[in-house]
Amino acid sequence: MKTKTLLLGAAASFVLAPAAAMAERGSDGHVNIIYWQAPSIMTPYLSSGTKDIEASSLVLEPLGRYTETGALVPFLAEEIPTVENGGVAEDLKSITWKLKSGLLWSDGSPVTSADVKFTADYCMNPEGGCAQLAKFDHISSIDTPDDLTVVVNFDEAMPNPYGPFMGGQSPILQKAQFENCVGAAASTCTEANFNPIGTGPFKVDEFKPNDVISLSANPNYRDPAKPAFATATLKGGGDAESAARAVLQTGEFDYAWNLQLAPDVLASMAEGGQGTPVSAFGTLVERLEMNMTDPSPNLPEGERSTVAHPHPILSDFKVRKALSMAIDRELLTEIGYGQAGRATCNLVPAPELYASDNTECLTQDLDGAKALLEEAGWTDSDGDGIREKDGMKLSLLYQSSTNAVRQDFQALIKDWWRQIGVETELRNVDASVFFGGDPGSPDTFQKFYADVEMYANNFDGTDPQSYLQMYRCGNEPKPSSQWQGENINRFCNEEYDALLDELAKTGELSKRGEIAKKLNDIITKETMTIVPLVDRGRVSAHSNTLGGVILNTWDSELWNAADWFRVKG
């Protein structure tokens, strides 16, 4: 295969913040960042929570990143490899990266190709659980012919070879620090996981999980004029409303992430004059995940929410479809996000090339949902308003993270489900715990000890291949992987897996789009194991004295923190 369409335009010219803004490293003092979902670990390989991925991006860097337009740009690499520049093989079965010369870790030791190879070996270790394993799909081997060259070989043609080492979800780890932390030992290396040695603009001085991270400028950062800030604090916890207020009204913080607030609340706060909300649409979809396995606490520990026990209620497609039909997505969007949201039936809402025209779910149909449950044998025989079948009540536990908008969504959905005869218990979990990676916690979204859960995530870059690969059979969180894994609802479908394999071999963009749409439709329409609700625009805010901020929905929001500076008033 010599299809080059996807690869010829991968490299794009890109200019970072003007050097004039950065007179001297550390000259602008301190910057305060607030994430109301507190980071619990500083490596994205042990957590798929966005707050952990983004916090670690201040310290750990990939070979390349995605800009705010989705273009690929080099970070630790000299350039983005393409077929055109010889970096991607004509048969699309290998990609060769060249590290920039002279790169140093924050401890002063050199960055080499051995670190890059180690990172892949770390994530692909069969005895461990890697939250980003889909990024390394189809790698057969990695060669390091010299200290600055990394050759990634694939077991088949890869039209999109930019899974490993691209974007905030796939940064480089220092081999010397993590080499004794592989496999089952990965989660036990507290010092390395909390205080990773990196190449980014900052280094960790102190990490208090689920609380605060104190950082200082990396003395060995490759640009001697950056970062402009000598120190930084990333404060975690609280809620979106208090985070927004801290930037927009009180000026206590310089940057607030993911302001998931009702639009009228955000507009009122912005009148405080201290800061500016910024927003952009990408691929962030608020959705319901249907647990295809039984989370019952009556099962032995180690068997709950595993494929050994199919879900006694949600394994029935008609039940899942009825639950979806009962929801008014337009109303959810209106009350939760206003102009910063769009009702959707798609897990992949963008880019346009990959977005299905599936709109069936946008019309609420309570009567149709009732009829479907009747067809499935769920009836209200005792007149208490709750359906039952074979002596089992149609009762579900529905969990999400603690957040005002999400609790509003839960309340509305509970009421709609009550109208069709479903009893719903609501649970909300502190976001730092819910999105954390602690394998011992019963409350993480990966462990999924509930019937239904609601959250949102997105994918790096503009190609959804790695994102859709998350739902491959066998990629579910489970005890043997320390509850790491990306197939959150434990979905398994042979047709889906075959299409994933076809997508991996297809280079022509229009055909890639067709396959991706089919994959999206299998999950969201044909099986409804995922029930999308709202395509969310990302909304954050920065103080009026913080310059250089470029909101990026295709990578970490903190992707260009090296270019931030203090606006002199």
Among the candidates 139, 156, 191, a domain finishes at 191
Counting Cα atoms < 13 Å in the Cβ hemisphere of 36 gives 23
In a domain, 9, yes or no: no
Structure tokens at 503: 């997508």
The per-residue pLDDT for 215 is 98
Domain interval for residue 38 = 22-58+200-274+544-568
Structure tokens at 325: 């039909």
For 88, the 3-state DSSP assignment is strand
In a domain, 2, yes or no: no
Among the candidates 133, 160, 191, a domain finishes at 191
In a domain, 7, yes or no: no
**pLDDT exceeds 70 at position 516:** yes
CATH code, 71: 3.90.76.10
The per-residue pLDDT for 80 is 95
Non-local (6+) Cβ contacts of 377 within 8 A are 389, 390
d(CA 284, CA 459): 8
The per-residue pLDDT for 518 is 98
In a domain, 426, yes or no: yes
Structure tokens at 81: 């490899």
Other CB atoms within 10 A of residue 102 CB? 10
pLDDT digits (tens, 9 = 90+) for 32-56: 999 999 999 999 999 988 999 999 9
Side chain identity at residue 268, one-letter code: S
In a domain, 117, yes or no: yes
Instruction: Tell me which residue has tokens 């071999």.
Output: 505
Is 389 in the same domain as 512?
Answer: yes
Where residue 23 falls among pLDDT bands split at 50, 70, 90?
Answer: low
**Residue 390 φ/ψ region, left for φ over 0, alpha for ψ in the -120 to 50 degree band, beta for the rest:** left
Cis, bond preceding 227 (omega within 30 deg of 0): yes
Is 494 in the same domain as 556?
Answer: no
In a domain, 301, yes or no: yes
Q: What is the mean pLDDT of residues 328-334?
A: 96
**pLDDT exceeds 80 at position 18:** no
Structure tokens at 317: 């497609």
Is 230 in the same domain as 240?
Answer: yes
Is 135 in the same domain as 237?
Answer: no
Where residue 263 falls among pLDDT bands split at 50, 70, 90?
Answer: confident
Is 327 in the same domain as 470?
Answer: yes
In a domain, 423, yes or no: yes
Non-local (6+) Cβ contacts of 28 within 8 A are 228, 229, 230, 565, 566
The per-residue pLDDT for 368 is 98
Is 370 in the same domain as 266?
Answer: no
CB neighbour class for 2 (10 Å; exposed up to 12, middle 13-18, buried from 19): exposed
Is 401 in the same domain as 252?
Answer: no
**pLDDT exceeds 90 at position 310:** yes
**pLDDT exceeds 90 at position 13:** no
CATH code, 407: 3.10.105.10
Q: Are 87 and 79 in contact (CB under 8 A)?
A: yes
Per residue in 221-239, is it b (16+ CB within 10 Å) or e — as a string?
A: bbeebbbbbbbbbbbbbbb
Pick from 120, 110, 45: nearest CA to 76? 110
In a domain, 115, yes or no: yes
d(CA 64, CA 55): 17
Q: Are 66 and 44 in contact (CB under 8 A)?
A: no
Tell me how many degrees the CA angle 210-456-472 measures, rounded to the nearest 5: 105
CATH code, 217: 3.40.190.10
Q: Are 77 and 100 in contact (CB under 8 A)?
A: yes
Q: Could you give the percent of the chain with pLDDT greater than 90?
A: 83
CB neighbour class for 284 (10 Å; exposed up to 12, middle 13-18, buried from 19): buried
**pLDDT exceeds 60 at position 16:** no
pLDDT digits (tens, 9 = 90+) for 198-220: 999 999 999 999 999 999 999 99
Q: Are 40 and 210 in contact (CB under 8 A)?
A: yes
Residue 137 or residue 14, greater confidence: 137
The per-residue pLDDT for 227 is 98
d(CA 324, CA 317): 11
Is 181 in the same domain as 211?
Answer: no
Pick from 182, 230, 174: nearest CA to 56? 174
d(CA 458, CA 535): 10
Number of domains observed in the structure of the chain: 3
> 240-244, 471-475, 477-481, 506-510 — which is least confidently predicted?
506-510
Pick from 123, 76, 125, 81: nearest CA to 102? 76
Is 312 in the same domain as 213?
Answer: no
Cα-Cα end-to-end distance for the chain: 57
Instruction: Tell me how far the alpha carbon of residue 550 is from its chain's centroid.
Output: 19
pLDDT digits (tens, 9 = 90+) for 393-408: 999 999 999 988 999 9
Is 367 in the same domain as 510?
Answer: yes
Is 44 in the same domain as 64?
Answer: no
Other CB atoms within 10 A of residue 445 CB? 25
Q: Are 420 and 369 in contact (CB under 8 A)?
A: yes
CB neighbour class for 81 (10 Å; exposed up to 12, middle 13-18, buried from 19): buried
**pLDDT exceeds 80 at position 91:** yes
**pLDDT exceeds 80 at position 20:** no
Side chain identity at residue 424, one-letter code: T
For 522, the 3-state DSSP assignment is helix
pLDDT digits (tens, 9 = 90+) for 177-189: 999 999 999 999 9
Q: Are 267 and 332 in contact (CB under 8 A)?
A: no
Is 173 in the same domain as 226?
Answer: no
